[in-house]
Structure 1
Amino acid sequence: MRRRTFLTGTLLGTAITAVPSLATANAANSARIGAAEAGTVTVGSLAELQKAIDRAVPGDRIVLADGTYTVPSAGISVSGRNGTTSAPITIVAQSRGGAVLQGERSFVLANSSNIVISGFALRQRTTLEIPASCPRIRLTRNDLNFADVTGLDWVVVRGDDAKIDRNHFHDKTTQGIFLVVDGPGSTAMAQRLTVLRNHFSDHSYGGENGGEPIRLGVSARALSSANAVVEYNLFERCDGDPETVSVKSSDNTVRYNTVRDSRGGIVLRHGNRTTVAGNHLLGGGEGVRLYGNDHLVVNNYFGALTGRALVVGSGTTRDHHAGETTDERRGNDACDRAVIAHNTFVGNTRTLSGESRTYEPSDVVVADNILVSGSGTLVDLPQGSGFLWQGNILWGAAADGTLPNAGYRRVDPKLRLDTDGVHRLSADSPAIDTATLTSPAVTEDLDGHARAGARDVGADEYSTAAPVRRPLTTADVGPNAA
């Protein structure tokens, strides 16, 4: 199908000021027809951009020339535009970061779907929202550095099947969150969000709450399933909140991320059935904190954290439930039936700890982990009911702490420090082939190597092969990532 032809101001001006020869005109017409069939148009002003968006059909690619643009207060409207999953409508900067959008707002989305917004430097003063009426919106390869306004959340997602990938969110000193995920109404969650290969850096707000890089939900939405996947993201110097990834919804996956030199950690603050797998938490403050039920924490590496590496949380209530008051829902839900397995803890100030609220955690499995530290106490966890300890290895000058009489052995795991800062098993480690847990299945390790046959204790399955996954660096994430 032949696409419509968009005339930019530059082409129109050329047509008025020059009368080409017949051959030149035919060549120009052929070029324009080819461009129309390909669905690509380059525009050089916001007025032209708006006209192109208003006419866009599935498969069109609208390119904004590099430059700095002051967006009118109404924003750039993307309303009633619908691509398809195989032929989205793409709005893209000519070069990554080359088109700078400044002003009150940038793109304003409504009643649209399958839209890609790519490559812009966004410098706006209000929230960029993906509303519930806009499913399958993708924000990719953008540089986000909004005005440093107190309380401003930068991107808020309410639409289903959004993808936020390869962006850089950076430099905020005031209260406010880089990326918020909510949903329609007051209790539902946006479904199936993907947050992939983003770089979150330099949030220096000094308060105690409201400065997270990512918040998945809010207390009123805690029991709603989101099925979000947050993976392969790098968090650096994210000090605006004790929670770097704050999960306040159910049925999410947080995996393969690196949190480096940051105050906050991965906190399952509200909700149930979330998996935290294959993350590197390095040289910062907090590690992982658990509330709610039926979580899986597996294959994570905790290195040189100055706060609490892993907290099995107690609660002001046993379980959150429908019909709670607002104050009840804001309280902590005791951690029940979590599985904490195949993690490695090295050199943390506080390795495994608990809390002292009314309701203690219960029926938690702590299995096949390696805990190593040269000082302090490895386990400072009040013994809730029904805990199962098995197959763990403890080592170092740190005291064992509040462990049962079984479920661990004190033996040198013979870890070697690799050039990427991760301690892995040596060939003669007693952790090799000695894991005890049979369910749930753990089919690979922290590095992405298969766990076949008898599994090894800790996050690393011994291998002479190079890791498939390592701690992420800036080359792995952000606008120029693969």
Structure 2
Amino acid sequence: MNNKFFIFSGFFLLSIASALSAAKDYSVSDYSEYQQAVEKLQPGDRVLLQDGVWRDVELVFAAVGTEQAPITLAAENPGKAVISGRSNLKLAGEHLVVRGLVFKNGYTPSDTVISFRTAKPESDSDYSTVAVNSRLTEVVIDDFSNPDRYETDYWVSIYGKNNRIDHNHFSFKRNKGVTMAVRLDTEHSRENNHVIEYNYFGPRPVLGSNGGETLRIGTSHYSLSDSLTTVANNYFEHCDGEVEIISNKSGKNVFRDNVFFESRGTLTLRHGNGNLVEGNAFIGNGVDHTGGIRVINADQVVKNNYMSGLTGSRFGGALVVMNGVPDSPINRYHQVKNSVISGNTLVNVERIIFGAGSDEERSAIPSNSRFTNNVVVNDSGESPFELHDSVKGIEFSGNKANFIVGDELSDGFEKVKGLASPQPDLPVKKEEVGVSWYPKYEKSDRFTINESVRVKPGTDTVLDAYAKISGAAELVLSEGEYHFSKTLLLDKPLVIRGAGKGKTRLTFARKSLVDLLNGSALRLQDVSISGVRAPDDKANAVIRSDSKPMNKNFSLELVGVEVIDLDINKDFDVIKLRKSTFADEVLVQDSSFANIKGSVLKLDSEKDDYGMYNAEYITVKNSSVNNATGSLMTVYRGGTDESTFGPHVHVDEVTVSSSPRADSQGNSILLHGVQRGLIENSHFDNSAPILVQHTVGGPVIRIEGNTYNHKPLYQVEDVVPGMESTFTADNNSFSE
């Protein structure tokens, strides 16, 4: 018996050795050579892409390897084969490995950059078009984004079974669509046992729309199916696309030992039952809208997670337990049932919410669930708990806190004086994930200046100076007039700094002074701008975003700026942001605007009512507007989607005079769908009222400490009847 075993083992090892010894390396230099090599592949073979740029290639990697002799597609030297242009990769077969490729400077012409499927299978028994038992490792996809921010694609679509995605680097997906998706649209891909581990998910900029998830497993349509996917030891850094960093939409998945660092939103158990969230760390460091875990559906287990410095609210809180919809359709909110939240530590978080989303539709409170042995520490001594509905279906026991919780929770908490919870070691470090040979994100100021150039007054001297700079720069202007015969087409960060209002004067001969293109950021400081030499034309603007879609967010700042004489026609705005363009920040400070035949900030181009908008943070401070026919600002975010955080508006110490006149049909400020707004310490003189239009979510709008001399100061409209809002108006004073 033993002899037979050893003889069999010997033959088995010899067969492996024979296969490996017969394996070939195919070093290929172009697409034609690649195609020829793929047709010959046998177990153990490798296709090696030579160093260089592989532009406009759609690679199909279809082959059948074995567990002992997988077939590999790799860069000949890791990171040196760069796939660019309109390119993608599809793989299908068994025991395949993809390693060491870099995707950058382009985008996919299809719906996916890397797909674990070449075509949808034609029968349940046919696995020839999907990848199984395969691996994607040490691959980089960096800013490989469609130029149109609202064109949808995925970076990685995972089909098949038993695939491993590990030690990859994904950063700066800028257009709509999930960064990585586990797809369950056929039986070939359900109960898949995929493992997603040790990947670096780098920055995902704010999208300003639904569709900015970093990872999604399943969809609502297949959410009652089990995926059996494990997501472990990954590092998510500044993944800010929308309110769901991870959108779980299937059953029996495991999320273990991941780090979410300063990322907006939550790991959301959106659909699907029986999932485990264990041992993860959510580090917010006080960054806006950082969140933790959102619980929906049945049989969920959330245990031994660490959450610190999280500021999120509503659906983006540190820990959120939702209400469900009775007899919910598959795509809405199923009731939380039989779920356990235990052994978690929450330190200095702003909100822990039970019954989130409670309304006429979402009326099914959690049932037969437990909240046990959790530790909650807040240095402020304030309770972060919010109860939006009854919690009678949740058992609270064995929990500890260093503050007094509300009466409804007190039986389940022990107040412990001096309770402390130091940050434990993170389950995975940034340097342990991704690839070693490609740099990870390091935070920097968008206006970090590489060079400073002095520019003399005259016609087009600024344009000439700008043409000579190669990176982020500062142009320093002296006293005098600077005329622009052409529009400054800005495609990099730029600071234009003058000698002061009334000293440095900018005029322009075209419809705009500056057009913001992809990659731009602009700070105008200490200058005066006059529209006196602008053409008598429609839709003029001092600064406007590109007429074409932009996938890179930008910043725009006016500090110490005077703008006058925009009255050559009836349509002349100061700042106008156009459709499919998005600003992370618009700041106006210490500035003045007079004689404007339009608005100061016109941020209302996304009127399709799909939840899109033009700017995340809009701030106007210590400034004035006088005699404008339009508004100080019009900000528009339409639709009822609940996936975004903004817009945010702050108006402080601003004087609005006859802008527009009180007897006009306009509004001094129009906020449509704004989620966070504060208008304070400002004076409204003979101006039309502020109009606040609530459309979605739980908007928090405050109008406080203002003075006005024409009634009303504000009007509030609920565009969606019955929605929750927290509008307040306090300490505003009227005088004739």
d(CA) in 1 for partners of 2:421, 2:391: 34
CA distance in 2: counterparts of 1:174 and 1:103, whole angstroms:
16
- Given that 2:270 and 2:295 are in contact with CA atoms closer than 8 Å, whether structure 1 keeps it comes out as yes
- Which of the numbers 309, 314, 317 marks the counterpart of 2:326? 317
Q: Distance in 2 between matches of 1:154 and 1:59?
A: 27
On the 8 A contact 1:182/1:190 being kept in 2, the answer is no
Residue 148 of structure 1: aligned partner: 146
Q: Return closer, same or farther for 1:358/1:52 CA change in 2, 3 Å cut-off.
A: same
3-state SS of 1:51 partner: helix
Matches within 5 A, 1:99-114: 99-110=81-92, 112-114=93-95
> Match of 2:305?
300
In the alignment, what sits opposite 1:476? Answer: 432
Partner of 1:163: 164
> How far apart in 1 are the matches of 2:146 and 2:427?
30
Separation (CA, whole Å) in 1 of partners of 2:204 and 2:238: 7
TM-score, scaled to structure 1: 0.75
CA–CA separation in structure 2 for the residues paired with 1:188 and 1:2: 31
The alpha-carbon distance between structure 1 residues 281 and 405, as it changes in their structure 2 partners (threshold 3 A), is: closer
* Aligned mates of 1:313, 1:109 — CA distance in 2: 39
- The residue matched to 1:478 in structure 2 has which SS? coil
Contact 2:202 2:238 in 1 (8 A): yes
Structure 1 position 104, deviation (Å)? 2.4
Q: Which has the higher strand share?
A: 2
Match of 2:177 in 1: 176
8 Å CA contact 1:306–1:350 kept in 2: the answer is yes
**More deviation in 339-348 or 116-125?**
116-125
Alpha-carbon distance between aligned partners in 2 of 1:71 and 1:305, rounded to the nearest angstrom? 43
Residue 317 of structure 1: SS of its match in structure 2? coil
The offset of 1:174, in angstroms, is 2.3
**Contact 1:187–1:220 at 8 Å: present in 2 too?**
no
Contact 2:20–2:44 under 8 Å retained in 1: no
**2:95 alignment partner AA:** N
Q: Which has the higher contact order (CA 8 A, sep 6+)?
A: 1
Residue type of the partner of 2:323?
S
1:201 paired residue number: 202
C-alpha RMSD of matched pairs (Å): 2.5
1:348-396 deviations in whole A, cap 9, x for unaligned? 0113433212100111111110011125433223333442111100114
Structure-2 change in CA distance of 1:413 and 1:164 (3 Å) = farther
- Counterpart residue type for residue 77 of structure 2: S
Which residue does 2:391 correspond to in 1? 384
Residues 175 and 107 from structure 1, CA distance in 2 versus in 1: closer, same or farther, beyond 3 angstroms?
closer
1:115-163 Cα distance to aligned partner (Å, 9 max, x none): 1111000234241211262222211100112233431211111211121
Whole-Å separation in 2 of the counterparts to 1:155 and 1:109: 11
1:50 aligns to 2:35 (yes or no): yes
Give yes or no for contact 1:71–1:102 (8 Å, CA) kept in 2.
yes
C-alpha deviation, 1:413, in angstroms: 5.9
What amino acid is the match of 1:379? Answer: F
Q: Distance in 2 between matches of 1:337 and 1:166?
A: 35
Q: CA deviation at 1:190?
A: 5.9
| Matches of 2:172 and 2:25, distance apart in 1 | 34
Structure 2: distance between partners of 1:413 and 1:38? 65
Q: Does 1:121 align with 2:102?
A: yes
CA 1:208–1:349 in 2, change beyond 3 Å: closer, same or farther? farther
Task: Report the counterpart of residue 416 of structure 2 in structure 1.
Answer: 411
Report the secondary structure of 2:207's partner residue: coil
- In 2, the alpha carbon distance for the partners of 1:208 and 1:77 equals 32
Offset at 1:54? 1.5
Q: Calculate the TM-score normalised by the size of structure 2.
A: 0.50
1:244-276: per-residue Cα shift (whole Å, max 9, x none)? Answer: 111000010001000011112110000100000
- Provide Cα deviations, 1:441-479, integer angstroms capped at 9, x if missing partner: xxxxxxxxxxxxxxxxxxxxxxxxxx5xx2533311102
Q: Distance in 2 between matches of 1:383 and 1:290?
A: 16
> Which letter does structure 2 place at the counterpart of 1:289?
R
Residue type of the partner of 1:183? L
SS in 2 for 1:47: helix
- Answer with 1 or 2: which has the greater Rg: 2
The one-letter code sitting in structure 2 at the alignment partner of 1:255 is R
Task: Kindly indicate whether the alpha-carbon contact (under 8 Å) linking 2:161 and 2:192 is maintained by their aligned counterparts in 1.
Answer: yes
Q: Is the 8 A contact 2:161 2:188 kept in 1?
A: no
What residue in structure 2 maps to residue 76 of structure 1?
59
**Aligned partners of 2:189, 2:28: CA distance in 1, in Å?**
39
Within a 5 Å distance, the mapping from 1:252-401 to structure 2 comes to 252-283=253-284, 284=287, 285-307=290-312, 308-317=317-326, 328-355=329-356, 356=358, 357-373=362-378, 374=380, 376-381=382-387, 382-396=389-403, 399-401=404-406
How far has the Cα of 1:313 moved from its partner? 1.1
CA contact (8 A) 2:73 2:97 kept: yes
1:223-242 alignment to 2 at 5 Å?
223-242=224-243
Residues 1:188 and 1:117: Cα distance change in structure 2 (over 3 Å):
closer
Kindly report structure 1 stretches of 4+ aligned residues shifted beyond 6 Å: 33-36
* Distance in structure 2 (CA, Å) of the matches to 1:297 and 1:174: 31
The one-letter amino acid of 1:138's match is R
| Residue 188 of structure 1, CA deviation | 6.6
Q: State how far apart, in whole Å, the 1-side matches of 2:298 and 2:80 are.
A: 46
Q: Which amino acid aligns with 2:82?
A: V
Match of 2:245, SS state, is: strand
**Within 5 Å, which residues of 2 pair with 1:431-450?**
none
Taking the aligned partners of 2:325 and 2:299, their CA distance within structure 1 comes to 18
Q: 1:78 to 1:207 in 2, by over 3 A?
A: same
Aligned residue in 2 for 1:454: none
Aligned counterparts of 1:274 and 1:103: Cα–Cα separation in 2: 39
Aligned-partner SS, 2:341:
strand
SS of the equivalent of 1:286 reads: strand
| Structure 1: distance between partners of 2:430 and 2:182 | 24
2:554 alignment counterpart: none
Instruction: Tell me how far apart the structure 2 counterparts of residues 64 and 189 of structure 1 sit (CA, whole Å).
Output: 33
Query: Which runs of no fewer than 5 residues in structure 2 stay unpaired?
Result: 1-13, 118-128, 438-736
Q: Distance in 1 between matches of 2:160 and 2:407?
A: 46
The 8 Å contact of residues 235 and 260 in structure 2, kept in 1 or not, is answered as yes
Equivalent-residue separation in structure 1 for 2:230 and 2:155 (angstroms): 19
- 1:36 shift after superposition: 6.3
2: CA distance, partners of 1:89 / 1:317: 50
Q: Do residues 87 (structure 1) and 33 (structure 2) align? A: no
| C-alpha distance after superposition, 1:93-133 (max 9, x if no partner) | 122211001232232334x1211111000234241211262
* Number of equivalent positions: 389
CA contact (8 A) 1:188 1:221 kept: no
Which letter does structure 2 place at the counterpart of 1:291? I
User: 2:352 is paired with a residue of what secondary structure?
Assistant: strand
In 2, Cα distance between equivalents of 1:116 and 1:211: 28
Secondary structure of the equivalent of 2:172? strand
